[in-house]
Amino acid sequence: MSEGLIKNIKDLAGEHNLASGTSICAGCGALETVKLFCDILGKNTVFVNAAGCMTLLAIYPFTPFSGSWLYTAMASASAGAQGIRDALDILIKKGRLSAAEDLKVIVLTGDGSAYGMGLSATSAAIDRCLDFYYLCYNNEGYGNTGHQDSAATPYGARTATSSSGAGFIGRKKDLFSIWAAHKPAYLATVIAAEPMDFARKVETAMKIKGPKMFISLAPCPTGWHYEPHQTVSIGKLAVQTGIWPLKEYKDGKVTHTKVIKEKLPVEEYLKLQGRFEHLFTPEKNLVLINEIQSSVDQYWIDI
Amino acid sequence: MTHQILVTGNAAAAWGARLSSVDYIPAFPITPQTEIIETLSGWINNGEMDSHLTMYESEHSMITAAGSAATAGVRVFTATSSQGLMYGMEMIFAIPGWRVPFVLVNVSRGLASPITLECDHNDILAARDSGCIQIHCSTCQEILDSVIIGYKISEHIKIRLPVIVNLDGFYLSFTREPVEIPEQHKVIQYLGEYNPMNDIYSASAPQARGLIVLVGSQYSYFRYQAHLANLKALDVYKEAAEEFTLQFGRNYSVIESYKIDDAEYCFIMVGSFSTKAKSAADLLRSEGWRIGLIRPRLIRPFPSEELRILLSGIKGAAVIDQNISFGKGGILYTEITSALYGADGNYPVTGSFIGGLGGRDITIDEFIVIAGEMREYVQKGKQPDTRLLFTEDELQQIKKIQLIAGTENS
């Protein structure tokens, strides 16, 4: 990865392909993700969007993107991307569009679509070896509608539909493994709070043809209940506690790109977020905290 | 050279796409449509057709891709049926707002439940309010020709809406009829090379499509624009059909009328069973009736004015709906009567008959009974209640089956 153009954090400051002034919430981890992705990928892009928070980036008659945009529906953005990729290939093959005008096709979805309604269309796009990028900003709930639980909601988190007791009782779906089982060309977890790891992965993907899948943990002040200025620190803690493993899948192998030697206790991450407040007040719920800790520990033992 | 071959309705639809030189075919199988995409795939695979077909995992995805590819500047063809159209219905309603052209062939099949493979029109009529233009066919030749005419309308600068060409499952999809295959170069001459207009993404000219609006007035404006474009398609259809007649000789008015000039009575219906209505009219005429058929080819936009002209002076009109809107009745009947209500003129007593659901036949005898009933109501001067075409024999059969199923006491 060292042959890439982005060698240090200053290299990330060069190009800005997403305009500011959108209607996205202050401190939005998904916006950080999209911005970083756009800056690295360049201007020659078409984003195909599924219903979610980022749908509100482009509100008629404005778009913050330097490239193109198509909103499709919640379930079928990957199919929309296939239609556009196929059309671009047809036009270039038939000489109706010059290769210099070609675009990178990117699906932009939240976890509500990626982990649930959009899974079928995405699975099929990987089956067809579609040459595209798929960026899931994962804020671990249906964020745009007030943060109800989705298939990406972590165990124990309170959401608008798991608002009492121990919080969400389901287990977060392992989308990385589901996608890896499809053998895509490239697959990675990322987080905008670790921009160098993020950038290297996007750069790696840019050299590969085929499905290039990204799941970005996107801290969400309004859904996770913390102050907007904490987005980056919470993101870093997600990695340092081992809760959000940074990894990639390439050539049939999974590699962890940031292995934390001295992991912080999960408590450090949980206690900053209102959605986990019930684990700490009125008294500490050690059973539940330990359960979350041991599942994280087990993950790192198993790999 | 033009030649005539014996083909199914499905193959005629495929020929329409082939002759229109479509660039892209998003596909998904469903009975009774599958033959269309298999035929196209076969032609592509053996090099007879320069097009690209992608298999999708659902009709929802397939229709999304039809729309997205159209926003990217290629001529698109797709096909579905029944549950497939319903599964893709979110996009059938969404894509007209993108204002992009393509042709979708729907092979009509009744909707679940109970599930069936046989034909009726509840699938296509569920798309009535989507913004897509609807052309309903009654013969295999008409299917081929309507696909070509469909592109002409869909791609018109004032329209830019998807066109759905409808044909009846089994009765047309799998029935072979002699069909004249126009010459490819003449079709291209008729349609012109594909002009994507603004529908193209490129590095030098980015565009944003399908954006959200947060203001009701903007939403109202764009929705009404799509409505006006759909209405405009009536005139554009007429121009396209006239030009088609000049080029290919076949005539497709917005409403087909059969022996209507001197008629006192008429059947009104869409689809392949209308050919039986013609036979029934001939038979009745041999017994002294003055009766004919009115068959709207366009359901959206709805040709209200043309209908009023044809119905003016007719005493009794029997609307035969091969569909049912639960809690209301025949959908076509509602459309027809709403076009007449309050209009100046001398319009007929209209009767509503529901028939042919799930592929049930409508017999010539039933057409004759319908005509007789219409005459009685005309004499009484009142509108009859909605009737289901269903015989005593059929009812007895159902009762026997229910006994076996144990759902009904004898």
Contact between residue B165 and residue B137 where contact means Cβ atoms under 8 Å apart: yes
With an 8 Å Cβ cutoff, are A70 and B71 in contact? yes
At B155 the three-state DSSP class reads coil
pLDDT, averaged across chain A: 96
Q: Can you tell me which residue has the tokens 């052209």?
A: B101
User: Residue A4: inside a domain, yes or no?
Assistant: no
Q: Which residue carries 């990675």 as its tokens? A: A188
Q: What's the rounded Cα separation, in Å, for the pair A111 and A218?
A: 10
Chain-chain contact of A84 with B94 (C-beta, under 8 angstroms): no
Best B211, B218, B223 residue to mutate vs chain A (most A CBs within 10 Å): B211
CATH topology classification for B256-394: Rossmann fold (3.40.50)
A68, A83, A128 member nearest B207 (Cβ): A68
Determine the distance in angstroms separating the CA of B26 from the nearest CA of chain A, rounded to an integer. 8
In a domain, A232, yes or no: yes
| Mean pLDDT rounded to a whole number for chain B | 97
- Chain B residues in contact with A128 by the CB 8 A cut-off are 54-55
Contacts of B230 (CB under 8 A, 6+ apart): B96, B131, B133, B159, B161, B300, B301
Contact between B212 and A65 using a beta-carbon 8 Å cutoff = no
Q: Which residue has the tokens 């398609």?
A: B233
Domain count, chain A: 1
| Shortest Cα distance, chain B CAs vs residue A248, angstroms | 27
Cα nearest neighbour of A120 on chain B: B57
The two three-digit tokens of residue B167, written as one number: 């044909």
Residue A135, domain CATH: 3.40.50.970
Q: Return the HEC string of B234-293.
A: HHHHHHHHHHHHHHHCCCCCCEEEECCCCCCEEEECCCCCHHHHHHHHHHHHHCCCCEEE
Say yes or no for a CB contact (<8 Å) between A68 and B212: no
Residues in contact with B285: Cβ distance below 8 Å, sequence separation at least 6, in sequence order? B259, B291
Q: Is residue A3 part of a domain?
A: no
Mutate to test the interface with B, among A85, A91, A127, A129 (most CBs of B within 10 A): A91
Of A67, A75, A88, Cβ closest to residue B60: A75
Q: Is the pLDDT assigned to residue A72 strictly greater than 80?
A: yes
Q: Do A55 and B212 make contact, defined as CB atoms within 8 angstroms? A: yes
Residues whose CB is less than 8 angstroms from the CB of residue B157 and which lie 6 or more positions away in sequence, other chains included: B197
Domain made up of B3-248: CATH architecture = 3-Layer(aba) Sandwich (3.40)
DSSP assignment of chain A, as one string?
-TTSS--SGGGGGS---B-S--SPPTT-HHHHHHHHHHHHH-S-EEEEE-SSGGGGGSBTT---BSSEEEE--SS-HHHHHHHHHHHHHHHHHTTSS-GGG--EEEEEEEHHIIIIITHHHHHHHHHTT--EEEEEEE-SSBGGGT-B--TTPPTT--BTTB-STTS--S----HHHHHHTT--SEEEEEETTSHHHHHHHHHHHHT--SEEEEEEE---HHHHT--GGGHHHHHHHHHHTTSS--EEEETTEEEES---SSPPPHHHHHTT-GGGGGGTSSS--HHHHHHHHHHHHHHHHH-
What 3-state DSSP class applies to B142? helix
Contact B71 A67 (CB under 8 A): no
Task: Write the pLDDT tens digit of every residue in B312-360.
Answer: 999 999 999 999 999 999 999 999 999 999 888 889 999 999 999 999 9
Please state at what angle helix B59-71 crosses helix A119-127, rounded to 10 degrees: 70
pLDDT at B408: 64
Chain B residues in contact with A61 by the CB 8 A cut-off are: 211
pLDDT band at B119 (very low <50, low <70, confident <90, very high): very high
- A65 contact residues in B (CB cutoff 8 A): 206, 208
Residues of A in contact with B206 (CB under 8 A): 43, 46, 65-68
Option in B24, B64, B209 nearest A87 (CB): B24
Put simply, the chain B residues between 158 and 177 with a CB less than 8 A from any chain A CB are: none
Residue A168: band (very low, low, confident or very high) from pLDDT cuts 50, 70, 90: very high
Query: Does residue A2 surpass a pLDDT of 50?
Result: no
On whether any CB of chain A is under 8 Å from the CB of B211, the answer is yes
Residues B177-205 have a mean pLDDT of: 95
In a domain, A45, yes or no: yes
pLDDT one-digit tens code per residue, A178-235 = 999 999 999 999 999 999 999 999 999 999 999 999 999 999 999 999 999 999 999 9
Token couple for A57 = 């980036």
Nearest to B64 among A76, A96, A128 (CB): A76
Domain regions of chain B by residue span: 3-248, 256-394
Tell whether omega for the bond before A195 is within 30 degrees of 0, i.e. cis: no
Residue A1 resides in a domain: no
Interface test with B, best of A66, A72, A78 (most B CBs within 10 A): A72
Place of tokens 């290939």: A89
**Residue of chain B with shortest Cα separation from A66:** B206
Chain A, chain B: beta-carbon pairs less than 8 Å apart: 156
On the question of pLDDT at A3 being above 90, the answer is: no
CA of A255, closest CA in chain B: separation in Å?
A: 31
DSSP codes joined into one string, A200-216: HHHHHHHT--SEEEEEE
Residues 6+ apart with CB under 8 A from B305: none
Cα separation, B376 vs B7, whole angstroms: 42
Q: Determine the average pLDDT of the residues in B2-29.
A: 97
Q: How far separated are the first and last CA of chain A, in Å rounded?
A: 22
pLDDT for the residue numbered A1: 36
Residue A8 above 90 pLDDT?
no
ipTM rounded to 2 decimals: 0.97
Burial A164-174 (b: 16+ CB within 10 A, else e): eebbbeeebbe
Beta strand residue intervals within B326-368, DSSP E: 349-354
Measured torsion, CA atoms of residues B126, B129, B132, B136, in degrees rounded to the nearest 10: 50
Question: Stretch A151-156: mean pLDDT, rounded?
Answer: 97
* C-alpha–C-alpha distance, residues A98 and A96, integer Å: 7
Task: pLDDT band for A15, please (50, 70, 90 cuts).
Answer: confident
Contact A82, B54 (CB under 8 A): yes
**pTM of the complete model beyond 0.90:** yes
Whether B410 shows a pLDDT value over 60: the answer reads: no
Cα A274–chain centre separation: 21
Contacts of B56 in chain A (CB under 8 A): 79, 82, 124
Average pLDDT over residues B222-244: 98
* B216 close to A (CB below 8 A): no
Which pairs with CB-CB distance under 8 Å and at least 24 residues apart come from A145-151?
A146/A223, A147/A220, A147/A222, A147/A223, A147/A224, A150/A111, A150/A112, A150/A115, A150/A116, A151/A111, A151/A115, A151/A116
- A2 falls within a domain: no
User: What is the longest distance spanned by two Cα atoms in chain B?
Assistant: 75
Domain that holds residue A182: 9-302
> CA torsion sign, B244 to B249 to B251 to B252?
negative
Please tell me the distance in Å from B359's CA to the nearest CA on chain A: 33
Query: Are A73 and B91 inside 8 Å of each other by CB?
Result: yes
Interchain proximity A87–B26, CB inside 8 Å: no
**Within an 8 Å CB–CB cutoff, is residue B52 touching chain A?**
yes
Contact B65 A86 (CB under 8 A): yes
How far apart (Å, rounded) are the C-alpha atoms in residues B239 and B233?
10
pLDDT digit string, tens, across residues A78-109:
999 999 999 999 999 999 999 999 999 999 99
So what's the pLDDT on residue A223? 98
Measured between beta carbons, the chain A residues lying within 8 angstroms of B94 are 72-73
C-alpha angle with apex B294: B290 to B296, nearest 5 degrees?
A: 175
Cβ–Cβ below 8 Å for B56 and A79: yes
Measured between beta carbons, the chain B residues lying within 8 angstroms of A78 are: 61
To probe the interface with B, which of A90, A113, A129 has the most B CB atoms within 10 Å?
Answer: A90
**Are A70 and B68 inside 8 Å of each other by CB?**
yes
Instruction: Find out whether A215 and A114 touch, Cβ atoms under 8 Å.
Output: yes
Pull the structure tokens for residue A220: 């969400």
